[in-house]
Structure 1
Amino acid sequence: MSRAFVKEGDGTLDPLPDLPQSPHPNYVTPRGLAALQTRLRNLQTSLIALKSRPERLDKLPEAACERDIRYFESRLRSAILIDPATLPLSEVAFGLAITVADDHGQQTTYQITGEDEADARLHRIAPQSPLARALIGAQVGDEVIWRKPSGPVSLEIVQISHSNQ
C-alpha cells in the first residue's frame, strides 16, 4: 500500500460533534437544575479519571465525555429557572402537579417539568408534549383533550398543586 493514502496521526482525536440542543426554551425546576449540575460534575469527574488512565490509546471515551460536558454546560447556560412553589394554583403551569381523571374515573397526577427532567415513568412531562400542551392554562373542573397517537382522550382537571417531589 502506498504511504500517500495513510493518515499519520499524532494520537489526538478530533472532537466529536456536539449533541443536538432543543429549539425550545430550557425551563427547569429547582430539582431539574440541581440534576443538570450534578450530571455535569459527574462528567467532569469522569473526564479526570479517563485522562489519568495509565494506558490512553483509546481516546474515544474522553472525546465522548468532553462532548457530553459541552452539552450539559450549554443546557445550564440556557436554563430558565422557574420555582413552582411561587406560582399560583389557579391554572396549570410549568412545574405544577396536575391531577386528572379520565372517562373511567381513573386519576393520574402529572408534573410539567423541563425536557431534561421529563420521565414518563414518574409522570413528569415536558412542556412541548401533547399532554402538557393540552393541560397548560386549564383550571380545575376544565375538560381537556389529550391527542394521543391511539386517539383523543378526554381528561378532567381534578386538582392543581405544588409538587412535593
Structure 2
Amino acid sequence: MAEIRTRLGRELEELANEMMLGRLAGRAAGGEPEEADCDRAVHRRIGLLGQLIAGLETAEAGTLWDDRAGYGSTVFLRDLDSGQETFCTLVAGGAADEEPGRVPLGSPLGRALLGCRAGDEPVVRTRAGPRRLRVFAVHTLPRSLGMTGGGPPDAA
C-alpha cells in the first residue's frame, strides 16, 4: 500500500500545482477567473484523491485488487429494475460517510460490489427491498495508477 499512497500523493500534488498555475495565469491575464466546469472537476478529483489517501490507513489489505472491485475502484453499473446507469467509487467508511459518487465499503451497496467483476449481477439489500444490479466495468485503483500484476499490491 506504500506504493499506492506514493502514487496517489504524486497525482494529488500534480493536480494542485496545475490548478494553482491555471489560477495564476488567469490573474496575470487580467482578473479573477470564474470557476469553470474543468476547475470543479479538478476540485472533485483532488477531494477524492485526499479521501483515498486517508482511507488507505483504514482499508483492509484484502479489499485492494487489480482484477475486481475493491477499495478505490470505480464501478460502472445498471439497476436492472429501473434501468438507471451510474458509476461509483468504493471508499473507506460506513454508510454515514456517503457523498455523491462515492460508496463506502461498509454500506450495503459497497459490500455488494466488493469483489465484483464485469458481468456480475450483485443484489443489494435495501429497506425498500432488494435491488438487482449488473456490473459493466470495473476500473481498479492499482490499474488506474499503472500497477498491474495479477494479485494484490504490496501490503507494506
The normalised TM-score by structure 2 is 0.46
Task: Give 1 or 2: higher helix fraction.
Answer: 2
The normalised TM-score by structure 1 is 0.44
Higher RCO (CA 8 Å, separation ≥ 6 residues): 2
